[in-house]
A and B are shown apart, each in its own frame.
Chain A
């Protein structure tokens, strides 16, 4: 069937900010879809609130709206653009939910917009658990037993019938929020109330637990002629009970006979047909009882998903691209397979390697968070690896995770240290460690895979590990084989040369890194590398080709392994290698992938052949048609150097992948690799506090007084000299890891004892903390001679809150022209001094009219996409050109930009989203340690409007009326007066806790007094629970973390009431509320803004 011609314009909804459960995989899928559909001649209207996406680059869609993903906003876009169709299956749960809302409210009908890909009934059948269940029963498929409950009583009744353990799943939530497994009546009571609250319709499913069963996923596609194919089967290493996003997963399925697999495949097709997904991809999850093979259907997603992104990268089959082509009427056999070119997409990929995905967690950011893995997703990113065997792939994945490990144990790092000590010492310690290991095997957690190895190291048997962990014996055996081989590695040094080569080769086939081999043979990894090179034990690279070599592949998508034959065809073209950012984590996310992709595009334009290295399957950069060559490899010095030796690029780009490539720079530099752009020496100068201070002194840029301490005593002395409060942090950190503002000696000693061990090789840095300063971020572009200031961002939150967690605005809202001139001058001086070639980000603090420099990073920063989208200037692309030798002057001449920074006739506000709902027991407080997972942009004619949009986009709808609860720390009260006055003027009722209320009363402000928790009920938490307030302003007082404040903040998160924890944010919010009064939101595309 040919494509549809009755549709001309298609609306695509993105997935919004990066949150846990919805990351850049939807940028990948959306970008693919837009490219594919535009190539077919369709006009594309895109709406996504996330500026850090490739899809929102103005050249992709015909009209790009960076607007809040809210039904009323999208209705406005529909009214304005009048698309004939809405494709809702590419923007995750967000887009699907919006499509349902727009459909149910009649908007789509009103404007005659057709849902393509998945129709409303299909979405409802898949998403509503009851409908889903009924549909499955109708087609005769088995499910876990269950029942719906709307109250505690109902839940208890169902529990009685089925028996424990049970799973509680709230209806209509994202990524399993509010769901959990319960073993006892007490746990059930808690889980039910949390679940009922989490569900927007107050409904939960109480379900038979299939805990410990094997878990599988099939990625299925269907076209309009009802042809169905399975793209990939995925087996979860972690059995049922752990959210699939938090599970280690493996492709293809390893432990199913063909009979079982084909049954699952038949069922999957029955599911997609019964649910009624007409065209496109779906993900269907199954559980299998390992004892008798009983298969039950768990759930299905009628859209592309995180798993489909993984499946696409794992097989080379671009699910999102094909899904969008199917949505406009093509059949699978009418779409070619890009990789083989000669065969159609109507087939099932087969693979001749093993793929392992390991999730990346960020528990270290959230003190007090429960680290047990369950059915609510907690991971923030993932890494994928390919190897010829599971053993090779799993070790590659572990070292790609960047959690400080060089493979699966045997590197003397992390928990291995304790295990080794236990083995050496024996006795009590060993018993203690064994108990810990047993517990960690029994309770799913992010370190379980290491503990499997530890179990073997400590003498437990495979049977022990299987019975404790319920992980399939096949996987346990694989890890056991790695363990056994590791035991032999120490003998390497004594082997005769002939045997050495074979042994080393075999060792590499088990996935061991040079670092692990070095540790086990007590030599440096450089020596191991030299030995390998001497013996010619080098990796070979194999193709990902969708067909297990049955057909010739034309797409250079490679992974490394140790095998006889290498498939890389190198050529003599000018090549540049771009190092990616690895797995998403807090502090290093999609923004860096965005920059890497831009670098690739720009360097391609400049005539270079681009080589991308990355290991994050969610990204656009690892799409095989972005770079000329893609190496899906861990970003370690060993793995990267291997590729460099193979490809011999003229240079390597390390500026765009965040801290990951920068951390590799010293090793690459040492190996003689040419680093493009800013020199490694300059990078080092900026990163080394001492060197950096010296430079600043030299060019007379003020900085907060600081010192470096190598011991506690030294730290205390420095703090006294600087006077409290001071900011403390370990050296070389990303995302404010381990940073804290301390107010006295006690806090300092507490910090050093708990958070950051200080030692001669691990100093801590101490800065004078600039209280209540305005923080400013600057992104600049330089070729070492000229400097272009691309964006000056004024933070909403004051200095001391991590820049990644602060809202900010372009152009600056309150800075005077003099301050701006000073900032420009400092930036230019520093860029020239450091000989920056490419991008540089500088953070300034402005206090009492004086500008201080906080830090400088000579690389692409997190704010590059935001600045680029706000100004319409693709900074990373320009930077890439500079890095290969183009003069900034000439680049700027060619572009229309004259002003530095560009003058805008509109305002763009960046706001962040925080994962508070994911981590119970964690205090909702911003600080120097970054905690946000993603960002949104609000763009409009003035600050208030832009800020209001940003807030809506970030999920906190600014109230127009109602009550505001104000509870302040002692220092803030006076400053809050104007805010409170303004709120009263706007017609809000103001409620305040006792002390705060007294203070306001003294200033003749009419406020309602609310009880603190200790003062009797109803207290402040009751008021929040009963939704008596529509906004909360609660500033934690600096020194003491007060119990009431903690409960207010947690309740606000649980009951989804916007909460502001800084007065700066409160001021901005009031402005936002004011701008919204009596005025509807208006929408404009980026293309329109840029024309202004």
Chain B
């Protein structure tokens, strides 16, 4: 087998030469790293990675292949993939395809054989940055130029690229008894969010990000879920407006209707409540960040994937209680409204990949839904 060269160039001028293990071509994106040891399939199929080239810090990737159950969406959204070593064989009873075949099938450019630790350290020191991954251009200078000229993700609406085309009712992986109806505003939602809701008895109505608050409220939901998604929250002002209207509806007309936000959903809630967001230097991406729930004192190890963050000071006088903090860097990881049934977390309670101990947040959401149903009866 002839190995095909592949290059990864950063706008900082740093270039990594490796071997292609994905599709031929050239792809641009924001270069980020993820420190999860397992779960590469969930990561590349997470729509939040749209527009990003992911470097996995675990050197051996692809060992257990790809299977139909572990998809977080119907296809891989990452702009590119960088690893130390992609496995030549697949070893797992559920595997249906190799990672390489999967990437080629979905036209994802991927590089292996590079010093991923050097790349990670570079990103840690210099911050996430624009990059290009290419099997067609081998001139380092040209590649760096290309990376520099590529579009930044700041201020770009990426949600519109990954949201569903029209609203639909989620078809769960197993049969669950339904006892309530939840509207899921899909900004690039991971499959497991809908699945965790279904598991707890919800009929999940998935709405495109461009849906209006009226369209959402029309189904008479028992709860509203704001999903994760890619990119800069400030660039999707139309969704933030929708969220504002939903909050308004809750506060004025329907103060038992719970809203739960995850990741981008959390950031949009923050913006809709009058707060601000900012970009982290290199983001949080991994499955080992400790987060403390200050309401219980418990620590959870969390699944993380975000480049932006809500500024706590900006929400000071907005009747908001800060509930979760990241113990690594003290950043805000969760808040709730003091009087309304609105709460959100920056990390991923649906896990997939990552630890399961944050599932309780879905339970909290459902307690609010139960309360609402009880009251209305």
Contact = CB atoms under 8 A, between A and B. Distances in A.
Which 7 pairs show the lowest CB-CB distances between chains A and B? A258-B39, A565-B118, A258-B353, A548-B57, A564-B115, A474-B91, A348-B288
Interface string A1006-1033: 0000000000000000000000000000
Contacts of B353: 258, 262
A512 to B, nearest CB: 16
Interface in B106-130: 114-118, 120-121, 124
Contacts of B42: 258
Nearest to B116: A352
A1081 interface: no
Contacts of A565: 115, 117-118, 121
B59 A388 contact: yes
Contacts of B160: none
Interface in A541-576: 542, 547-552, 563-565, 567
A254 interface: yes
Interface stretch (B64-72, B161-169, B242-250): B64-72
Interface of B: 16, 33, 35-39, 41-42, 57-60, 63-64, 67, 69-70, 84-85, 87-89, 91-94, 114-118, 120-121, 124, 286-290, 292, 297-299, 301, 327-328, 351-357
A522 interface: no
B355 A255 contact: no
Contacts of B121: 549, 565, 567
Contacts, number: 159
A349 interface: yes
Contact of A229 (B35, B118, B301): B301
A1038 interface: no
Contacts of A563: 115, 117-118
Given A333-B292, A388-B85, A548-B35, 7 more contacts: A255-B92, A259-B70, A343-B328, A346-B327, A347-B288, A354-B60, A563-B117
A262 B288 CA distance: 12
Contacts of B116: 352
Given A257-B64, A473-B91, A549 B115 contact: no
A383 to B, nearest CB: 20
A83 interface: no
A472 B91 contact: yes
Chain B interface main SS type: loop
19 contacts: A252-B37, A254-B60, A256-B64, A257-B94, A258-B39, A259-B69, A261-B38, A265-B356, A347-B327, A348-B355, A349-B288, A350-B58, A350-B287, A389-B60, A473-B89, A549-B57, A550-B124, A564-B16, A565-B118
Contacts of B35: 350, 352, 547-548, 550
In terms of DSSP, what is the predominant structure of the interface of chain A? loop
A290 B288 contact: no
A389 B41 contact: no
A477 interface: yes
A332 B299 contact: yes
A227 interface: yes
Nearest to A294: B93
Nearest to A250: B60
A881 B85 CA distance: 47
Nearest to B326: A343
B92 A388 contact: no
A418 to B, nearest CB: 29
A344 interface: yes
Nearest to B88: A477
A464 interface: no
Contacts of B118: 563-565
A567 B118 CA distance: 9
A474 B87 contact: yes
Contact of A258 (B286, B292, B352): B352
A477 B290 contact: no
A259 B37 CA distance: 12
A352 B83 CA distance: 11
A131 interface: no
A550 B286 contact: yes
Contact of A350 (B37, B93, B115): B37
A351 B38 contact: no
Contact of B38 (A257, A290, A333, A564): A257
Contact of A226 (B114, B115, B298): B298
Nearest to B122: A565
Contacts of B328: 343, 347, 551
A39 interface: no
A352 B92 contact: no
Nearest to A233: B37
Interface residues of A, number: 55
B298 A390 contact: no
Interface string A532-546: 000000000010000
Q: Which of A349, A352, A477, A552 has the most chain B CB atoms inside 10 A of its CB?
A: A352
A293 interface: yes
Contacts of A567: 121
Nearest to B89: A477
Contacts of A474: 63, 87, 89, 91
Given A389-B84, A390-B60, A548-B35, A293 B91 contact: no
A751 B126 CA distance: 67
A606 interface: no
Given A262-B356, A548-B120, A256 B87 contact: no
Nearest to B300: A227
Interface in A386-402: 388-390
Interface centre among A293, A331, A343, A349 (most CB of B within 10 A): A343
A473 B95 CA distance: 13
Contact of A549 (B38, B124, B357): B124
A481 interface: yes
Contacts of B292: 333
A624 interface: no
Given A332-B299, A389-B85, A550-B35, A346 B59 contact: no
A395 to B, nearest CB: 15
Question: Most chain-A CB neighbours within 10 Å: which of B41, B64, B67, B356?
Answer: B64
A353 interface: yes
A225 interface: yes
Interface in A273-293: 290-293
Interface string A672-683: 000000000000
Contacts of A547: 35, 288
A373 B323 CA distance: 53
A481 B88 CA distance: 9
A266 interface: yes
Contacts of A233: 37
Nearest to A289: B93
Given A549-B124, A550-B124, A344 B290 contact: yes
B59 A352 contact: yes
A266 B356 contact: yes
Nearest to B328: A343
Given A257-B64, A293-B94, A549-B120, A225 B59 contact: no
B303 to A, nearest CB: 9
B156 to A, nearest CB: 26
